[in-house]
Amino acid sequence: MFDVKTVSLEWGGKTLTLETGRIARQANGAVLATYGETVVLCAVTAAKSVKEGQDFFPLTVHYQEKFSAAGRIPGGFFKRERGATEKETLVSRLIDRPVRPLFPEGFYNEINVIAQVLSYDGETEPDIVAMIAASAALTISGVPFMGPIGAARVGFKDGEYQLNPSMAQVAEGRLDLVVAATGNAVMMVESEAKELTEEEMLGAVQFAHAESRKVINAIIDLAEQAAKDPWEINLADNTAGMKADIKKLIGKDITAAYKLTDKSARANALNAARDKVKAKFAEADGQTLMTAIKVCKKLEAEIVRGAILKDGKRIDGRTTTQIRPIESMVGFLPRTHGSALFTRGETQAICTTTLGTKDAEQMIDGLDGLSYQNFMLHYNFPPYSVGEVGRFGAPGRREVGHGKLAWRALHPVLPTKEDFPYTIRVLSDITESNGSSSMATVCGGSLSMMDAGVPLVRPVSGIAMGLILEGDKFTVLSDILGDEDHLGDMDFKVAGTSEGITTMQMDIKVAGITDEIMRQALAQAKEGRAHILGEMLKALGETRKELSAHAPRIETITIDKSKIRDIIGTGGKVIREIVATTGAKVDIDDEGIVKISSSDVAQIEAAKAWILGIVEEAEVGKIYKGKVVNIVDFGAFVNFMGGKDGLVHVSEMKNERVEKPTDVVKEGQEVFVKVLEIDPRGKVRLSMRVVDQESGAELEDTRPAREPREPRGDRGDRGGDRGDRGDRRGPRGDRGGRGGDRGDRGPRRERSEGGNPDHIPAFLKSDD
């Protein structure tokens, strides 16, 4: 029933298996990739014809993680996979970016690539497996795909490169690098690094490329067994005559337009030239007009690229290594916790930093279960930033990708949670764009966090590099414009500190680049980053020592884990009371780390004192300030240490006789008390009379000292005493005469002033 074909190889200490012919047989190509116990199915379908009027390549990649793959049920109301998560969007882009340039120019058939994670072992990351499965499915599908590509993840620890490390291993090391490549050249790079040098990064890319070749050979072996017949397509270029005519018509206009340094003026001049072409072919059919417009764009690219390769002249007149003018401002928004306005040429970003407490962390529900992220970076690209009318709303794939790139650049220099226990959100709003708004986000985000008082390891700057490649000739461009990005062959972004690289991202529009090109691009990027960093530090040289007045303050204390339940209380009663009374937020983890936060320092101190009062042990002889919480006939109970209460007997309220406790105190009154005794059951006996109630100073005790108590351990004699007491109870049966007896007891109470303790309740009396 099934014509199953498989290939396997040992790779990075695990077996990688590619299988086809069993699942999704109606797709043009389908491959089940297994690495460890992580399994990904990728299916490719392609339209047999081009839609009428189609003038671009409609490739769509979808990556989806099934929660069942990890034995989990999705959270939320619907309990099923919904729209793409951020991770799914990013992995979809990882697959799309290296395969898109490997389709021939002029191929406009719609193609769907769907990769689904079916099994996840908790160790082998499925993104690399999905990239390999997609490459294999495209290779055997018969569509004109000029692959295959291989992919690999690289870690770096103790000077050694690691192939396909787990996320736990990545966290322990200094690098998380993903590379996709053909057999001859690198196609795509995505990374996060802890200040690696250019040589270390280049070595990691070369290591990944070498390992990717092993996967490419396995895909070729599978294709030799199971590939479908290649499509017959006719993509011959018959536009040479049309191109010559258009060049005569608007060639000089295009050359003049690209000498204009202002983006808007240049765009207007180019549009005027294109209008001439449209007018010339106005009587032609729609297909001819569309072809003429494409030829016009090709002519623009040839003129710009030729000028750069021949004379080193760029669109705006700069040299190949020159950076556009930079201006930075910080603290220009009055109510944000940190803000920066970063402008480089015609690219501008407003970046703000907001500090929050632990409850502001982002909850992520994924294959590994629930996790929490205390650093977020969100990037927005409104249409007005490029002077256009367009969609404005939820972020698209591009915005998610650009935001994650900036996140990777800044994440390695953040302080630890222990050193800076805040949730950090950086927001980047692009207000102008003409090349590399993601790197403007890196620069502005770094400055805004420094303005907010986030103690970064070092400030970070970023730069975008371009490439013009014709045969063996190439030119690397620093700080590319938008047009140089569109007309060039590479978008190579590098960000880092003065000590090393924190992220590197590369996308190629041609069939890969060589080590020589990458080495030169890294060298130019290093010089450019240093220049940009110097300009940034003119606005703010170091992180502010104080947080914004509007930012919450967080104080951390550590308590004994056995005291956690005392602070929380039954059903959370105590901690809710602390929060409601003081106004501060209180978070406690299982290790006894308590974080108290508020924008008002007084609220923090009040909550801290309350909590310390709960966990602190009372000391005999020490004076405390407390509050009367309950008054009874024989005294008053005083709360003097958060959750601790003690009794001030009526005899300990003043040195003179007190008729009723209410004559001295009332509920809610603050008093000073001294701890006289703590019995083995934890009951506390307090005194007010030996403390000055105005100042809290201890007073001399003028009462005669009480006789020492009989040791509690000698309980044997008490049996006899209790036996004798039985005779005393007999006469008490005559209760009718007790009224008179009580009347006679008045003088005895008068004698209590002299220190007679007969009126003290039984639980406070000595055992004799």
Pick from 137-151, 251-265, 328-342: least confident: 251-265
> What is the tens place of the pLDDT at every residue in 543-602?
999 999 889 999 999 988 888 988 898 889 889 999 999 999 999 988 899 999 998 889
pTM confidence score: 0.81
pLDDT at 739 over 50: no
**According to the model, what pLDDT value does residue 295 have?**
86
Q: Is residue 545 part of a domain?
A: no
DSSP structure class, residue 225? H
pLDDT band at 299 (very low <50, low <70, confident <90, very high): confident
Q: Is 405 exposed, middle or buried (0-12, 13-18, 19+ CB in 10 A)?
A: buried
CA-angle at 191, arms to 186 and 195, nearest 5°: 120
pLDDT band at 733 (very low <50, low <70, confident <90, very high): very low
Structure-token match 């990691």, residue found: 204
pLDDT at 617 over 90: no
Question: Are the C-beta atoms of residues 296 and 242 closer than 8 Å to each other?
Answer: no
pLDDT at 751 over 70: no
**According to the model, what pLDDT value does residue 734 have?**
46
**According to the model, what pLDDT value does residue 478 have?**
94
| 401 and 462 in a common domain | yes
Contacts of 750 (CB under 8 A, 6+ apart): 657
Q: Is residue 710 part of a domain?
A: no
> What is the tens place of the pLDDT at every residue in 202-250?
999 999 999 999 999 999 999 999 999 999 887 766 778 888 888 888 8
CATH at residue 84: 3.30.230.70
| 759 and 636 in a common domain | yes
- How many structural domains is the chain composed of? 5
Mapped to the 3 state alphabet, what secondary structure does 183-209 carry? CCCEEEEEEEECCECHHHHHHHHHHHH
Average pLDDT, the chain: 88
**According to the model, what pLDDT value does residue 235 have?**
75
Q: Among the residues of 492-617, which ranges form H helices?
A: 515-536, 564-568, 573-582, 601-615
* Residue 404 domain boundaries: 326-536
Q: Which two tokens mark 95?
A: 């697959």
Neighbouring-strand partners of residue 597: 554, 585
pLDDT band at 290 (very low <50, low <70, confident <90, very high): confident
Neighbouring-strand partners of residue 46: 111
Q: Which amino acid, residue 301?
A: A
**According to the model, what pLDDT value does residue 704 have?**
67
pLDDT at 616 over 50: yes
| 110 and 16 in a common domain | yes
C-alpha to C-alpha distance for 236 and 106, rounded to whole angstroms? 9
Question: Are the C-beta atoms of residues 623 and 698 closer than 8 Å to each other?
Answer: yes
Q: Which two tokens mark 122?
A: 């908790």
Among 585, 600, 615, identify where a domain stops: 615
Segment 449-461 mean pLDDT: 96
**According to the model, what pLDDT value does residue 317 have?**
84
**According to the model, what pLDDT value does residue 619 have?**
85
| 671 and 574 in a common domain | no
Report the relative pairing of strands 461-470 and 490-496 from DSSP bridges. Answer: antiparallel
> What is the tens place of the pLDDT at every residue in 95-139?
999 999 999 988 999 999 999 999 999 999 999 999 999 999 999
> What is the tens place of the pLDDT at every residue in 183-201?
988 999 999 999 999 999 9
Q: Which amino acid, residue 232?
A: E
**Among candidates 154, 137, 138, which has minimal Cα distance to 33?**
137
CATH at residue 758: 2.40.50.140
Whether residue 144 has a cis bond before it, omega within 30° of 0:
no
- The rounded Cα 312 to chain-centroid distance in angstroms is 42
C-alpha to C-alpha distance for 201 and 519, rounded to whole angstroms? 10
| 661 and 760 in a common domain | yes
C-alpha to C-alpha distance for 337 and 71, rounded to whole angstroms? 42
Among 249, 279, 311, identify where a domain stops: 311
C-alpha to C-alpha distance for 40 and 38, rounded to whole angstroms? 7
Q: Which amino acid, residue 477?
A: L
Among 281, 311, 341, identify where a domain stops: 311
pLDDT band at 154 (very low <50, low <70, confident <90, very high): very high
358: three-class secondary structure by DSSP: helix
Question: Are the C-beta atoms of residues 610 and 582 closer than 8 Å to each other?
Answer: yes
C-alpha dihedral sign at 746, 750, 756, 760:
positive
DSSP structure class, residue 393? S
pLDDT at 90 over 80: yes
